[in-house]
Amino acid sequence: MFTVSEETSGGRIDVELTRRTGFSRSHVAAAIRAGAAAVNGEPAKPSRILEPGDSVTYTIAAPPVLEVLPQALPLDVVFEDETLLVVNKAAGMVTHPSHGWVDNTLVNALLAHTGALPGDPLRAGLVHRLDRDTSGLLLVAKTEAALTTLGRAMQKRYIKREYRGIVAGVPRELDGVIRGAIGRDPHNRLKYAIRADGKFAVTHYTLRQRFKDATELDLTLETGRTHQIRVHFAALGYPIFNDPIYGKLDPRSPLPGQALHAWRLGFKHPVTKEMLAFEAEPPPDYLATLVNLGLDRGGPSTTRPSALRSG
């Protein structure tokens, strides 16, 4: 129990209780919705704004500790040595466990494959991640030293990642650069958005092929923000095709979600210092989406409309 002071007034109750408990905001908000907090004796909503003199009572239990267990799941290993792995993640597979998804993840499969991995148990060995419905190449460290070195390389943008993606619609500018800082969407905690106070983010894109009402692009990341490609193209008005969060599902795609595939990965080996590069073609459901889009007009076109190039 506490009384709201002048200094702590004006903010939401879920934000203040997140600060006081140290738990995640999503966990705190869920507890509040379940009746775990009251203001002046009345049940509160997570969005309740606190005023000076408010009496706040709360009982919020700590979230259960997740145990990450090895699971013998299908795993497409593209490369492996004593230091690292490169895997080709399937669309629909969650990268690592969370309180909303505790098993059947890539990390569960990796632990069954390797026996042990360094780092945070929930993100064991992961140098970076992919969204659940994004397929493609992921880099995994097998030693503490490799995880440190590759993590530093990722922060300094030395690891090169290229994607293939389909966007809904035909952008006026078919080659360009999107710059827009990304942060949490204040209206939907499941989404991210371009925000003035967000983290710097840059996406490069070039035309691969154009359809009647969709476009396939080659995409290169300078930065690696959560949902970066999806947020950037949604902000332009051309969301990733079949994206259930930033766009809409389309019956022409058999994919479980957004048509986005991480198809190229390049980096320097942390021990041998050799430059390594890998490619993985998109999965059959992605290719089937391209076929279905082409059937709508008898085949794709690569003709460019006259438009200013972005940059």
Instruction: Report pLDDT for 100.
Output: 67
Q: Is residue 307 scored above 70 in pLDDT? A: no
Instruction: Report pLDDT for 98.
Output: 77
Closest CA to 128 of 138, 137, 118: 138
Instruction: Report pLDDT for 62.
Output: 87
Q: Does residue 302 belong to any structural domain of this protein?
A: no
Q: Does residue 89 belong to any structural domain of this protein?
A: yes
By the 8 A CB rule, do 137 and 262 touch? yes
Q: Tell me: do 44 and 141 sit in the same domain.
A: no
Q: Tell me: do 119 and 220 sit in the same domain.
A: yes
By the 8 A CB rule, do 25 and 10 touch? no
Report the alpha-carbon distance of residue 141 to residue 149 in Å, rounded.
9
Q: Tell me: do 32 and 176 sit in the same domain.
A: no
Instruction: Report pLDDT for 304.
Output: 42
250-297 pLDDT, tens per residue? 999 999 999 999 999 999 999 999 999 999 999 999 999 999 999 766
Q: Does residue 261 belong to any structural domain of this protein?
A: yes
Q: Is residue 26 scored above 70 in pLDDT? A: yes
Q: Tell me: do 94 and 53 sit in the same domain.
A: no
Q: Is residue 169 scored above 50 in pLDDT? A: yes
Q: Tell me: do 115 and 17 sit in the same domain.
A: no
Q: Does residue 300 belong to any structural domain of this protein?
A: no
Q: How confident is the model at residue 301 (pLDDT cuts 50, 70, 90)?
A: low
Instruction: Report pLDDT for 299.
Output: 61
Q: Round the average pLDDT of the chain to a whole number and report it.
A: 91
DSSP track, 184-231: E-TT-TT-EEE-TTSB--EEEEEEEEE-SSEEEEEEEESS--TTHHHH
Q: Tell me: do 48 and 167 sit in the same domain.
A: no
Domain region containing 158: 77-295
Structural domain count, the chain: 2
Instruction: Report pLDDT for 297.
Output: 62
Report the alpha-carbon distance of residue 201 to residue 128 in Å, rounded.
16
Q: Tell me: do 52 and 160 sit in the same domain.
A: no
Phi, psi of 56 (to 5 degrees): -110, 125
pTM, to two decimals: 0.78
Q: Does residue 310 belong to any structural domain of this protein?
A: no
Q: Inter-axis angle of helices 25-33 and 13-21, to 10 degrees?
A: 120
> So which residues are the catalytic ones?
131
Pairing of strands 192-194, 202-210: unpaired
* CATH code at position 285: 3.30.2350.10
Instruction: Report pLDDT for 310.
Output: 35
Q: Tell me: do 163 and 290 sit in the same domain.
A: yes
Q: How many CB atoms lie within 10 A of CB 78?
A: 14
Q: Is residue 305 scored above 70 in pLDDT? A: no
Q: Tell me: do 237 and 289 sit in the same domain.
A: yes
Q: Does residue 31 belong to any structural domain of this protein?
A: yes
Q: Tell me: do 85 and 51 sit in the same domain.
A: no
Average pLDDT value for residue range 39-61:
94
The DSSP element (H or E) to which 162 belongs, if any, is: strand 160-168
Instruction: Report pLDDT for 68.
Output: 87
Q: How confident is the model at residue 186 (pLDDT cuts 50, 70, 90)?
A: confident
Q: Does residue 225 belong to any structural domain of this protein?
A: yes
Q: How confident is the model at residue 151 (pLDDT cuts 50, 70, 90)?
A: very high
The DSSP element (H or E) to which 32 belongs, if any, is: helix 25-33
Q: Tell me: do 122 and 176 sit in the same domain.
A: yes
Q: Does residue 141 belong to any structural domain of this protein?
A: yes
Q: Tell me: do 33 and 89 sit in the same domain.
A: no
119-148 pLDDT, tens per residue? 988 899 999 999 999 999 999 999 999 999
* CATH code at position 51: 3.10.290.10
Pick from 40-54, 91-105, 171-185: least confident: 91-105
Closest CA to 250 of 168, 176, 182: 168
Upper half-sphere CA count for residue 274 (Cβ side, 13 Å): 5
